C-alpha cells in the first residue's frame, strides 16, 4: 500500500465533503475534529478528537500524515511553522495562509501586487474611523476585525462615529474599508499545485442575504467574457504570488466606474474549499474538493469545466422546522434531478446545515428548482 | 435528528461506494464487515466487524438500524427471516433475495413469468448432463452450481461428459444451461421502491473477458430502441414480480434468431448495486448507489438519465504492478477528465481493485481513454 495519508484539520462540512471526494481516490483520509459529533466526524473512518489550538495535539495528529490541510483557517500560524520545522508537509503553508488569516496582511499584499481592492486601512479608534471616512468618500464605512470573522461575523457597517465603537471591543486590529457600491458579488475559484499547475473554475455569481451566501449561479449570468477572464487571471495571480496550494476562493465585487466601465474589486480570500464552489460537486467535471486533494497531494489537477449550461447552488439554512428529512419526500418527488447535500448538523436558525444543487439549460427554471427546495427544507414554504 | 440509520451487510467496494453516495443524504450509514481492513471499513465511520453467517452478530448489528441492506447476496435466508421476525426491515427481503441466491429458484420463477432464458434444468450427474445436452442442441453446455458463484466462479463449460464431473464435487445442486451463441452481453439495471416506484437506467453493453466484466458502455452502442425498451420492461417486470427493493441488475444475452430477429435472454440477476452500474456514478444524474439508498429508505427515486452521450467504465484489475498510486501521475496528466475510483484493496492478479470512467461525445475516444487508464493502472502498458 503506497496510497498517501491526508490529514485535514477541522471536522466541519468542508471536511465531510472532502472525505466524500477522497474515497474514489483510494487515499487514507483522517480528520482532527473538535467533537465526535462534528459534521465530518460522523462519516469519516479515521477521526481524532482534539483541540487544533494545542500544538501537542497537532503534532500527534500529524504523525503518519503525508500532508496536512485544512477545513478552516484558524490554526495558529506559529503552530504551523512548528509543524513545518518538524518536517510535516502543510498545504497551504503558513506563509500563504496568513493572508487568509489576517485581513490587514491580505490588503497590504494585494496592494503590493496591484490587485484592485476597496479603499482600506487599519484604523486605531472611532475618531480614526471618521478620518478614514473622510478619505474614502464618507460614511457609511465597513469595519472588520482583521482576524476571526466569517459569514458576516466580525463585520460591521458604521453609519457614524457613534456606530464605530463596537469592533474595537474585541481587542483585535480593525480594518476600515469603503462601502463599495457594487453591482453584484462574484467569486473566482482556482486550485493550484505545489509544482505550479493551476486550474480556474468559471466565475460565479454569489447572491448574499444578510451577509451570508444564499445562492451561487455558475457561470455568473451575463458576465462579459473580458471581465470573466480578468477575474480568473486575478485569482491565478493571487494564488501564484501568495504561494497558495489547494483551493483559493477570491470573493469579488463587480463594480461600474462613473463612465460605466465594468470592473472588479477583491472582497475576501479563502484558502480552502469554499461555499462558492459547492456547485462543482454536481456541476463541474471535477469538484473543488477532488481538486483540493489532488493539489495538496501534488497530483495533476482535474478538468474544472462545467457539465451543464447552468448550475445553481442554494444553501439550506436552519429554520423553525427541525425535521429536514421529512421534507425529502416532497422535494425528491417534485424534482427527481435535485441534488441534496446535508451536513449532519443540528438545525439552528440561520445555520448552514446543507445545500441543494440543480442544473439545466433554462436558468429561470434551474434557479426556481433550487430556491424551492432550499425554502421547503428550511420550512419557509410548505408546498 | 430524525435521519435514518442504514445498515449494510458486507464491507466490499459496493458498501464503500454506497457510503460515498450516502454522505450527501445526511443519513447514518453503518456496515457489518468481515475485517477492519475491508474496502468499505477503511472509509466508513461506523463499522462493526463480524461474521454475517452468525445470527447473533446480525441481530446485534441490526439493533438501531432503520433498514438493513446488502453489499452481497450471501447472508443465509433463514437468518434474514429471523431478523424480519424480530421486526427488522430487510431490503431486499429474503423472498426476493432467494432468486439471486439460488440460480435454480431464479430459473424456475423466470420461466413462470414467461421471461426468455437459455434452455436450462437441474442435472443430477454427468450422465444427466449428456441427456441435457441432447435436449439442448448438444455439447458444449454451461454448468453452474446454483449457489455461491460470481465473476466466473462456480461456472464451467463442459465440452463432453468427461468434463462434467467437476461441478458436482461441491455438493451443491448443479444447473445446466445451453451455451448461448450470443451477439454480446447487455445489462438492464432498474431500481424499485417498496411503494412500487421504479426507474430504469439506459441498457448498457457489458464486455466480458475471461468471465469477468471488463468494460461497460452506456448506452449499448447500436442497440435498437425496441430491444432496449424490451430489456428495460423485462427488468421492471422482474423487479415487480419478484418483489425486489433496491437496485436490480439483469444481465442479458443479446441474440439473433435464425431469421435474424434480435432478442434477449436473461443470464443472471443481482439484487444490489452492480458492476454494470458503476458508470452511473459519473455518467448519470443519479448514481445506482444513491438510488439504491433512496429505494431502501422508501424515498422518491432520482433521475436515472445519462449526463453525457457516451459513458465508458473499465474495471481496473490487479496485475504484476502493485503501486497503482504511482500511476496516477501519468493517468491524470494525460486525461484531466478521467474519473478514477479505487477501492483500497491490495493488488492481487486478476482481482478487481478499482474502476475508471470517461465520458464524452465520441465513443471511440471515450473507450480509448478508459482502456488506456485501466491498462496503465494495471501495468500492462507503460506509456
In angstroms, how far is the first alpha carbon of chain A from the final one?
51
Nearest CB to B341: which of A24, A41, A344? A24
- Cross-chain residue pair B339–A25, CB shorter than 8 Å: no
| Pairwise CA distance, residues A184 & A256, whole Å | 10
A119-178 CATH: 3.30.1490.20
What pLDDT does residue B171 have?
87
Nearest CB to A342: which of B26, B300, B307? B26
In angstroms, how far is the first alpha carbon of chain B from the final one?
51
Chain CA centroid to CA B332, Å: 28
- The contacts of residue A62 (CB under 8 Å, 6+ apart) are A7, A68, A83, A86, A88
Indicate the class that CATH gives domain B5-90. alpha beta
- Judged by a CB distance cut-off of 8 A, whether residue B336 touches chain A is yes
Cβ B337 vs Cβ A302: under 8 Å? yes
Q: Identify the CA nearest to A129 among candidates A164, A155, A103.
A: A164
Determine whether the annotation assigns residue A144 to a binding site: yes
Determine whether the annotation assigns residue A178 to a binding site: yes
Chain B residues close to A346, C-beta within 8 Å: 1
**Per-position b or e across A68-85, b if 16+ CB within 10 A of its CB:** bbbbbbebeeebbeebee
What pLDDT does residue A383 have?
81
| Pairwise CA distance, residues B12 & B25, whole Å | 21
Domain boundaries along the sequence of chain A = 5-90, 119-178, 184-378
Cβ atoms < 10 Å from Cβ of A362: 11
How close A158 gets to chain B, by Cα (Å)?
A: 40
Which residues is B88 bridged to in the sheet?
none
Cβ A45 vs Cβ A22: under 8 Å? no
- Cross-chain residue pair B25–A340, CB shorter than 8 Å: yes
- Cross-chain residue pair A42–B28, CB shorter than 8 Å: yes
- Judged by a CB distance cut-off of 8 A, whether residue B5 touches chain A is no
- Judged by a CB distance cut-off of 8 A, whether residue A63 touches chain B is no
- Cross-chain residue pair B326–A2, CB shorter than 8 Å: yes
Nearest CB to B299: which of A47, A281, A332? A332
What pLDDT does residue A305 have?
98
- Judged by a CB distance cut-off of 8 A, whether residue A186 touches chain B is no
Q: What angle do CA B229, B233, B236 make, to 5 degrees?
A: 140
Is residue B92 reached through a cis peptide bond, with omega within 30 degrees of 0 on the bond before it?
A: yes
Statement: residue A247 has pLDDT above 60: yes
Cβ atoms < 10 Å from Cβ of A170: 14
- Cross-chain residue pair A20–B20, CB shorter than 8 Å: yes
- Cross-chain residue pair A2–B323, CB shorter than 8 Å: yes
Please give the average per-residue pLDDT across A295-314, as a whole number.
Answer: 98
Pick among B12, B311, B325, B377 to test the A interface (most A CBs inside 10 A): B325
- Judged by a CB distance cut-off of 8 A, whether residue B351 touches chain A is no
Determine whether the annotation assigns residue B179 to a binding site: yes
How close B55 gets to chain A, by Cα (Å)?
A: 26
Contacting B residues, span 16-35, partner chain A, CB-CB under 8 Å: 16-17, 19-20, 23-26, 28-29
Q: pLDDT of A39-87, one tens digit each?
A: 999 999 999 999 999 999 999 999 999 999 999 999 999 999 999 999 9
For domain B184-378, the CATH architecture is 2-Layer Sandwich (3.30)
Determine whether the annotation assigns residue A352 to a binding site: no
| Pairwise CA distance, residues A220 & A144, whole Å | 27
| Pairwise CA distance, residues A50 & B117, whole Å | 59
Total residues found in chain B within this entry = 383
User: Over its length of 383 residues, how does chain B's per-residue pLDDT go in tens digits?
Assistant: 489 999 999 999 999 999 999 999 999 999 999 999 999 999 999 999 999 999 999 999 999 999 999 999 999 999 999 999 999 999 999 999 999 999 999 999 999 999 999 999 999 999 999 999 999 999 999 999 998 766 667 899 999 999 999 999 888 999 999 999 999 999 999 999 999 999 999 999 999 998 889 999 999 999 999 999 999 999 999 999 999 999 999 999 999 998 999 999 999 999 999 999 999 999 999 999 999 999 999 999 999 999 999 999 999 999 888 789 999 999 999 999 999 999 999 999 999 999 999 999 999 999 999 999 999 999 998 88
| Pairwise CA distance, residues B40 & A282, whole Å | 23
* Look-up of cell digits 501568495: A242
What percentage of chain A reaches a pLDDT higher than 70? 99
- Cross-chain residue pair A20–B25, CB shorter than 8 Å: no
Cβ B187 vs Cβ B249: under 8 Å? yes
Chain B residues close to A354, C-beta within 8 Å: 26
- The contacts of residue B327 (CB under 8 Å, 6+ apart) are B321, B376, B377, B379
DSSP for B316-348, written as a single string: EE--S---HHHHHHHHHHH-TT-EEEE--PPP-
Going by pLDDT thresholds of 50, 70 and 90, the confidence category of residue A150 is low
Strand B28-33 vs strand B46-49: parallel, antiparallel, or unpaired?
A: parallel
Phi, psi of A26 (to 5 degrees): 75, 10
How close B3 gets to chain A, by Cα (Å)?
A: 6
Contacting B residues, span 81-100, partner chain A, CB-CB under 8 Å: none
Q: What are the distances in angstroms from CA B268 to CA B110, B147, B283? A: 11, 12, 24
Statement: residue A153 has pLDDT above 80: no
- Asked whether the domain spanning A184-378 has the same topology as the one spanning A5-90, the reply is no
Mean pLDDT score of chain A: 96
Pick among A45, A327, A379 to test the B interface (most B CBs inside 10 A): A45
Determine whether the annotation assigns residue B177 to a binding site: yes
| Pairwise CA distance, residues B229 & B202, whole Å | 9
Which residues is B114 bridged to in the sheet?
none
Q: What are the distances in angstroms from CA A328 to CA A13, B297, B302? A: 20, 11, 12
Determine whether the annotation assigns residue B178 to a binding site: yes
What pLDDT does residue B79 have?
98
Going by pLDDT thresholds of 50, 70 and 90, the confidence category of residue A149 is low
Cβ B8 vs Cβ B31: under 8 Å? yes
Amino acid at each position: 500500500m503506497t496510497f498517501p495519508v491526508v490529514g485535514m484539520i477541522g471536522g466541519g462540512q468542508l471536511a465531510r465533503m472532502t472525505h466524500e471526494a477522497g474515497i474514489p481516490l483510494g487515499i487514507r483520509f483522517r480528520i482532527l475534529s473538535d467533537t465526535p459529533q462534528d459534521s465530518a466526524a460522523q462519516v469519516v473512518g479515521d477521526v481524532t478528537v482534539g483541540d487544533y489550538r494545542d500544538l501537542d495535539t497537532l503534532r500527534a495528529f500529524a504523525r503518519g500524515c503525508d500532508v496536512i490541510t485544512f477545513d478552516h483557517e484558524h490554526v495558529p500560524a506559529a503552530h504551523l511553522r512548528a509543524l513545518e520545522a518538524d518536517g510535516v508537509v502543510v498545504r497551504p503553508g503558513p506563509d500563504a495562509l496568513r493572508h487568509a488569516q489576517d485581513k490587514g496582511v491580505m490588503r497590504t499584499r494585494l496592494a503590493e501586487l496591484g490587485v484592485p481592492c476597496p479603499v482600506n486601512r487599519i484604523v486605531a479608534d472611532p475618531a480614526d474611523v471618521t478620518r478614514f471616512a473622510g478619505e474614502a468618500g464618507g460614511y457609511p464605512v465597513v469595519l472588520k476585525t482583521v482576524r476571526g470573522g466569517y459569514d458576516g461575523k466580525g463585520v460591521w457597517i458604521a453609519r457614524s462615529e457613534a456606530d464605530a465603537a463596537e469592533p474595537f471591543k474585541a481587542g483585535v486590529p480593525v480594518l476600515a474599508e469603503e462601502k463599495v457600491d457594487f453591482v453584484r458579488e462574484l467569486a473566482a475559484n482556482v486550485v493550484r499545485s505545489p509544482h505550479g499547475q493551476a486550474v480556474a473554475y468559471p466565475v460565479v455569481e454569489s447572491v448574499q442575504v444578510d451577509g451570508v451566501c444564499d445562492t451561487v449561479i455558475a457561470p455568473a449570468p451575463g458576465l462579459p467574457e473580458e471581465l470573466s477572464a480578468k477575474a480568473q487571471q486575478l485569482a491565478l495571480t493571487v494564488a501564484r504570488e501568495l504561494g497558495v496550494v489547494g483551493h483559493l476562493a477570491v470573493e469579488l465585487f463587480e463594480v461600474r466606474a462613473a463612465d460605466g466601465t465594468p470592473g472588479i474589486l477583491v472582497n475576501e480570500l479563502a484558502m480552502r474549499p469554499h461555499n462558492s464552489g459547492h456547485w462543482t460537486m454536481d456541476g463541474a467535471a471535477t469538484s473543488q474538493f477532488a481538486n483540493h486533494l489532488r493539489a495538496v497531494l501534488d497530483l495533476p489537477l482535474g478538468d474544472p469545466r462545467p457539465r451543464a449550461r447552468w448550475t445553481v447552488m442554494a444553501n439550506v439554512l436552519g429554520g423553525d422546522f427541525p425535521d429536514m428529512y421529512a421534507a425529502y419526500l416532497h422535494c425528491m418527488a417534485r424534482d427527481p434531478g435535485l441534488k441534496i447535500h446535508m451536513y449532519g448538523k443540528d438545525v439552528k436558525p440561520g445555520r448552514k446545515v446543507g445545500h441543494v444543487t440543480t442544473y439545466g439549460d433554462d436558468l429561470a427554471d434551474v434557479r426556481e428548482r433550487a430556491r424551492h427546495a432550499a425554502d421547503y427544507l428550511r420550512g419557509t414554504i410548505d408546498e
